[in-house]
Amino acid sequence: MLDGRVAVITGAASGMGLATAQTFVEHGAKVVLADIQGERGAAAAARLGDSALFVRADVTSAEQVESLVRVAVDTFGRLDVMVSNAGAAVDLSPIDELTPAGLDRTLALNLQAHVAAHKHSARQFRAQGTPGSIITTGSVAALQAGWNGGAYSMAKAAVLALVRQTAMENRGTGIRSNAILPGAVLTSIITDMFGVSRDREDEFLAGIGDRIGGETLIGRAGLARDIAHAALFLASDLSAWITGVALPVDGGSTAVTKDATVSLITEFATEFHTRS
Ligand SMILES: NC(=O)c1ccc[n+]([C@@H]2O[C@H](COP(=O)([O-])OP(=O)(O)OC[C@H]3O[C@@H](n4cnc5c(N)ncnc54)[C@H](O)[C@@H]3O)[C@@H](O)[C@H]2O)c1
């Protein structure tokens, strides 16, 4: 599905980014994996062979994001896909305790980095005179409160506007921008949030998977490869007429209300009629 295509994937040392890199290479792409985790990223690229190159980069630096595009072009000759995926909760403070510095740090990673990825990949696509696909990992936290901290949710909500705006500004060029909104997916982002050591990560994630699977309509928690498959579709020509959208990949979590209001009303109505 991606024969001859070249992609940059940020946050590719772990979780969804890593699964996306593996999937893209399986489908014929050349991939630049970028992450701040040097050892994990280098090991991942080595496992993927000649089709992959790891670059240690901090996406909160716009210059480093720009240089990722340059590395892709210098190494593999072009750029076709940008997967702007790196992210983390950063600051979990409730809004009434959130500091300007905490909000800034959260936005630097979860919004500014995506803006830089859009800017530099779209410039490269235009310079090449080719179509291109920009895919951003957002979150269901953009749609509903309660999935993560407020600062993170605000950043993820802003991603929706970034994607639509970019789609509009690139009308008629074949340059597309779409977001994937994952639900709860079993990756290191969760173990990092709860201070779980790497050696006990699998055990912890299996435990969460058992607890939360039933909260989805599909009946299981998300896996990194579920997101990678959505990214493969959005990177490929199969999605050639799709731009400016935000695709929830959440096992159906956001399709239904978690709120118990309707069952409470039903219970009350039953009691009410029994009483009268
Ligand atoms: N796992 C979930 O439940 C979930 C749900 C919704 C959205 N997301 C989003 O999915 C994306 C991928 O997260 P994941 O779940 O695979 O977690 P993960 O922790 O496994 O992967 C995130 C990667 O991003 C990297 N990263 C963090 N800061 C960086 C920086 N400044 N520069 C470069 N790389 C950096 C990390 O080192 C890590 O390898 C994130 O944007 C996250 O917000 C995750």
Choosing from 189, 192, 198 the residue with most ligand 1 atoms within 8 A of its CB, the one to mutate for a pocket test is 189
What integer pLDDT is reported at residue 258 of this predicted model? 72
Tokens 């009308």 -> residue: 171
DSSP assignment of the chain equals: --TT-EEEEESTTSHHHHHHHHHHHHTT-EEEEEES-HHHHHHHHHHHGGGEEEEE--TTSHHHHHHHHHHHHHHHS---EEEE----------GGG--HHHHHHHHIIIIIHHHHHHHHHHHHHHHHT--EEEEEE--GGGTSTTSS-HHHHHHHHHHHHHHHHHHHHTTTTTEEEEEEEE-SB-SHHHHHHTT--GGGHHHHHHHHHHHHGGGSSSSS-B-HHHHHHHHHHHHSGGGTT--S-EEEESTTGGGS----HHHHHHHHHHHHHHH-
pLDDT of residue 248: 98
Look at residue 257 in the predicted model and tell me its pLDDT: 82
Contact, 48 vs 21, CB < 8 A? yes
* 154: pLDDT strictly greater than 90: yes
Q: What is the mean pLDDT of residues 170-181?
A: 98
Q: Which CATH superfamily is domain 6-275 in?
A: NAD(P)-binding Rossmann-like Domain (3.40.50.720)
Q: Which residue ranges have their beta carbon within 6 Å of ligand 1? A: 10-11, 13-17, 35-37, 57-60, 85-88, 109, 137, 139, 182, 184-185, 187-190, 192
pLDDT in tens, 225-267: 999 999 999 999 999 999 999 999 999 999 998 777 777 788 8
pLDDT score recorded for residue 261: 76
- pLDDT at position 189 is 94
Give tens-digit pLDDT for 15-51. Answer: 999 999 999 999 999 999 999 999 999 999 999 999 9
How many CA atoms lie within 13 Å of 30's alpha carbon, on the beta-carbon side? 17
For the segment 2-20, the average pLDDT, to the nearest whole number, is 98
Instruction: Average the pLDDT over 67-81 and give the result.
Output: 98
Does the pLDDT of residue 214 top 90, yes or no?
no
Whether 222 is a known active-site residue: answer: no
Mean pLDDT of the chain: 96
Atom of ligand 1 lying closest to residue 41 CA = 39
pLDDT confidence of residue 9: 99
Options 152, 156, 181, 182, the catalytic residue: 152
**Position in ligand 1 atom list of the atom nearest CA 18:** 16
Look up residue 87 and give its two tokens.
């992210």
178-200 mean pLDDT: 95
Distance (Å) from CA 105 to ligand 1 centroid = 15
Torsion sign (Cα): 191, 195, 199, 204? negative
Burial of 274 (0-12, 13-18, 19+ CB in 10 A): exposed
Give the separation between CA 83 and CA 9, rounded to whole angstroms: 5
Q: Among 85, 82, 159, which Cα is nearest to 120's?
A: 82
